[in-house]
Amino acid sequence: MGSTSSLNLPLLMSLVIGCPVAASASNFYQDFDITWGDGRGKIVNNGEVLTLSLDKASGSGFQSKNEYLFGKIDMQLKLVPGNSAGTVTAYYLSSKGSTWDEIDFEFLGNLSGDPYILHANVFSQGKGNREQQFYLWFDPTADFHTYSILWNPQRIIFSVDGTPIREFKNTESLGVPFPKNQPMRIYSSSWNADDWATRGGLVKTDWTQAPFTASYRNFNADACVWSNEASSCKSNPLSSASTNNAWFSQELDSTSQQRLQWVPKNYMIYNYCTDAKRFPQGLPPECNMS
């Protein structure tokens, strides 16, 4: 046995870099379980691609095997092509229980050629009501695009193809709860929501077009995995020099700040923070932070 074999390498690594788990080649068999839909959810191409389908009888869904407490989580999605009106594809992180935390992407389908809506919401301790909605600057059904959630103790940043579309800052100092104590799983589901999804429920699902299928690939999580009441990030990732952990303290640089203005300015169609009618007692405190 060589002398290096006496080193416990995994332990050493975990102490040195805080051991974030970076999924290497994405494999859906390894990282996810199809949880419902009676065969409508499928893992194909040796685990490289997952598809969720919806028909009149049922939708389908999957969830991650791991729970995470903070991370940068990327997934590529290709949404239901053609007439997807009435359908919703939800892709989100969520904890359990009645005071759950949740970080939410929902994709609201539309008639062929009409724009999908990307809906983004944050729940903390069971309370949401923080919706923002956007059109996209591309056709999300024509190809795969990357949807990312960066979640660290200071902020949540939603990004599309690397462009930040929304930042939800930790404003606990203003009394606003922030998701930071409850580990979350990744979930996705495809379901019928034609009572509200498309033009507020005016356009119904055309079941002659079923099944409606969305596809997923290239999952990547640079994240702290939570298991047996402990985090895989043993030491404070902040203390690490490793760029693998940059997400843990990541803020938006000035380029990203500019892009974060570009998206809301040109593509935002709803923002709870400007919906004064909805909050007659005053806008939520986090809305007064620029």
Ligand X SMILES: *[C@@H]1O[C@H](CO)[C@@H](O)[C@H](O)[C@H]1NC(C)=O
CB 100, min distance to ligand X, A: 26
Contact range with ligand X by CB under 6 A, out of 18-26, 147-155, 158-166, 191-199: 191-199
Written as six digits, the tokens of 106 are 């929902």
Please pick, among 102, 131, 167, 286, the residue that the annotation labels catalytic.
Answer: 102
Residue with smaller CB distance to ligand X, 70 or 147:
147
Element (H, E) at 92: strand 87-94
CB 266, min distance to ligand X, A: 15
Task: Report the residue count for the chain.
Answer: 290
Q: How far is the CB of 277 from ligand X (least distance, A)?
A: 19
Least distance in angstroms from the C-beta of 53 to ligand X? 20
Q: Catalytic residue, from 48, 67, 106, 131: name it.
A: 106
**Min dist. Cβ of residue 109 to ligand X (A):** 7
Q: Which of residues 195-254 bind ligand X (CB under 6 A)?
A: 197-199
Give the residue with the Cβ less far from ligand X, 136 or 156. 136
CB nearer to ligand X: pick between 73 and 160: 160
In the annotation, is 167 catalytic? no
Q: Is the preceding omega at residue 280 within 30 degrees of 0, hence cis?
A: no
Site size with ligand X, rule: CB under 6 A: 8
Nearer to ligand X, 33 or 114 (CB): 114
Closest CA to 101 of 75, 118, 80, 125: 125
Tell me the C-alpha distance between 94 and 221, whole Å: 15
Q: Which structure tokens are listed for 165?
A: 């579309």
CA dihedral for 206, 77, 41, 90, sign (positive or negative)? negative
Burial class of residue 143 (count of CB atoms within 10 Å of its CB; 0-12, 13-18, 19+): exposed
Residues 99-158 that bind ligand X (CB under 6 A): 108, 110, 114-115, 117
Chain-centroid distance of CA 92 in Å reads 4
193 token code pair: 């929501």
Residues 18-47 that bind ligand X (CB under 6 A): none
Site map for ligand X, 70-89, x if CB under 6 A?
Answer: --------------------
Tokens (6 digits) for 108: 């609201």
- In the residue annotation, 131 being an active-site residue is answered as no
Biggest alpha carbon–alpha carbon distance for the chain: 72
Q: Which two tokens stand for residue 126?
A: 């069971």
20 vs 86, beta carbon nearer ligand X: 86
Q: List the one residue out of 116, 90, 88 whose CA is nearest residue 104.
A: 90
User: Which residues are annotated as catalytic?
Assistant: 102, 106
- Footprint of ligand X on this chain (CB under 6 A)? 108, 110, 114-115, 117, 197-199
